[in-house]
């Protein structure tokens, strides 16, 4: 896939109306609806400011939550418009609909240097179905399209891919950063290239492991998925997470790694517990895990082994925690991994989702090169899949 896409720097936006796809899917307090983190809004500011400063009129749009085509008042983007106004220091005009009379009238009246925000795109069922009529109605309000919501580029929705059939499509600064950093890591990594993969299930990471076996020098496995690999090699894993139907696959991956000369590392000790609970007593186990225990985190020997493996790496990609990091007693492995990445001196890329949350929660966010803003998107990126919201952008 070509990651070298035209950006907003490659087009004269002066006097143009720009349909800007943002990711304003912000976390909110369930009771009050108050936005609990500005992060995604702040991430969009550099692109918005560039467009406004260079004479564009910006028609911003986003989804929020999963309304599934229903008009749900608690998922309105009105609070986002208010917060964006505060952060930008100027009014954000809010449309009470998406492609209806209000949106069309406000878009038509919008002047250079002004910004408006459409109501939640997913209030219309045609957004997620990539309805051509809905995409065209969005596109008809603007002169060009800018994609700056990396978290949604793996979806072929009307606002992420469909509109590009009707408008010239460019990448915003956030999407451009993701494509250049992650694209380079996969296509031309500084070596040695180490991939650290965790999380609960092997099945979630099958395509990622397959793709990275072609590219990485070392693959480190942690999290619940490690137990399927260990069981496949004949180890006792007690009550640990197991995907029975993936045992043959796990063995095949281990063999494939050996054939390709890829260093494939699995845990050598474990922090276990009798039950899946934050209050469970941690039990350190080397070798076979007793029948009454389940693996909850990598042990200290494994943490040291993994930290040693990332020393001297040129590029490290990390997707998925090493254990149940939400429980303090079982967060040590993930913390050790985050610390090792921070101290490695390598280009360090943390995939979105749980690993991004872990790095932020554990206080290492400012010591890694890049934390991806897309969970599912960064995973599919690592799988080597074509992302519809990237493929539709103009090539350089």
Q: Give the model's pLDDT for residue 385.
A: 85
How many domains, in total, are found in the chain?
Answer: 2
pLDDT (tens digit, 9 = 90+) per residue, 312-328? 999 999 999 999 999 99
* 97 vs 102: CA distance, rounded Å: 6
Q: In terms of domains, do 147 and 216 share one?
A: no
> Of 115, 149, 176, which closes a domain?
176
* Same domain flag for 252 and 375: yes
Indicate the DSSP class of residue 223. S
Predicted TM-score (pTM) of the model is: 0.87
**Same domain as 172, residue 193:** no
For residue 125, the SS3 value is helix
Q: How far apart are CA 49 and CA 90, in angstroms?
A: 11
Are 149 and 279 members of one domain?
Answer: no
- Residue numbers of the domain that contains 36: 8-176
Same domain, 22 and 99: yes
| pLDDT (0 to 100) of residue 239 | 97
371 and 228 share a domain? yes
pLDDT in tens, 111-145: 999 999 999 999 999 999 999 999 999 999 999 99
Residues of the chain by 3-state class (helix, strand, coil), percent to 5: 40, 15, 40
| DSSP code, position 395 | B
- Which of 176, 199, 233 represents a domain boundary (last residue)? 176
- CA–CA separation, 210 and 319 (whole Å): 14
Together in a domain, 162 and 201: no
**DSSP state, residue 385:** P
Same domain, 261 and 342: yes
CA 155, CA 157: separation in Å to the nearest integer?
A: 6
In a domain, 389, yes or no: no
Distance CA 162, CA 131 (A): 8
Q: Which DSSP string do the residues of 24-55 spell out, in sequence order?
A: ----B-TTT--BS--HHHHHHHHHHHHHHHTT
Q: CA-CA distances (angstroms) from residue 82 to 73, 77, 94, 173?
A: 16, 9, 9, 23
| CATH number of the domain where residue 212 is located | 3.40.50.1260
The residues carrying an active-site annotation are 40, 201, 353, 376
Show the low-confidence residues of the chain (pLDDT under 70). Answer: 352
Domain match, 161 and 279 both: no
Domain co-membership, 64 together with 129? yes
Tokens of 60: 């911003």
- Beta carbons of 229 and 235 less than 8 angstroms apart: no
């Amino acid at each position: 896939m070509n990651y070298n896409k035209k950006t907003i720097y490659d087009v004269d936006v002066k006097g143009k109306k720009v349909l800007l796809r943002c990711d304003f899917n912000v976390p909110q307090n369930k009771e009050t609806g108050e936005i609990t983190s500005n992060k995604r809004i702040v991430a969009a500011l550099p692109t918005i400011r560039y467009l406004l400063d260079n004479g564009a009129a910006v028609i911003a749009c986003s989804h929020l939550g999963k309304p599934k085509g229903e008009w749900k008042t608690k998922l309105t983007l009105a609070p986002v418009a208010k917060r964006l106004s505060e952060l930008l220091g100027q009014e954000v005009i809010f449309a009470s609909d998406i492609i209806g009379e209000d949106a069309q009238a406000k878009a038509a009246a919008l002047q250079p240097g002004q910004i408006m925000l459409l109501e939640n795109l997913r209030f219309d069922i045609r957004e997620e179905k990539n309805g051509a009529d809905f995409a065209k109605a969005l596109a008809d309000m603007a002169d060009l399209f800018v994609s700056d919501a990396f978290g949604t580029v793996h979806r072929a929705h009307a606002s992420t891919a469909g509109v590009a059939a009707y408008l010239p499509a460019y990448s915003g600064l956030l999407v451009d950063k993701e494509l250049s950093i992650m694209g380079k890591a996969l296509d031309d990594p500084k070596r040695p290239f180490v991939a650290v993969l965790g999380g609960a299930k092997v099945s979630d990471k099958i395509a990622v492991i397959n793709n990275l076996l072609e590219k990485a020098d070392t693959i480190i496995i942690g999290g619940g998925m490690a137990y399927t690999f260990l069981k496949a090699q004949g180890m006792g894993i007690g009550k640990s997470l197991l995907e029975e139907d993936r045992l043959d696959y796990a063995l095949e991956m281990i063999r494939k790694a050996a054939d390709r000369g890829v260093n494939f590392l699995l845990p050598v000790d474990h922090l276990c517990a009798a039950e899946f609970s934050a209050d469970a007593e941690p039990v350190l186990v080397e070798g076979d895990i007793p029948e009454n225990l389940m693996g909850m985190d990598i042990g200290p020997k494994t943490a040291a082994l993994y930290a040693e493996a990332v020393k001297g790496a040129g590029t490290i990609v990390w997707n998925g925690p090493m254990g149940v990091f939400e429980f303090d007693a079982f967060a040590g492995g993930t913390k050790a991994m985050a610390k090792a990445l921070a101290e490695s001196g390598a280009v360090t890329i943390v995939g979105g989702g749980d690993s991004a949350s872990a790095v932020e929660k554990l206080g290492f966010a400012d010591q890694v090169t890049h934390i991806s803003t897309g969970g599912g998107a960064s995973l599919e990126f690592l799988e080597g899949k074509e992302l519809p919201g990237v493929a539709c952008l103009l090539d350089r």
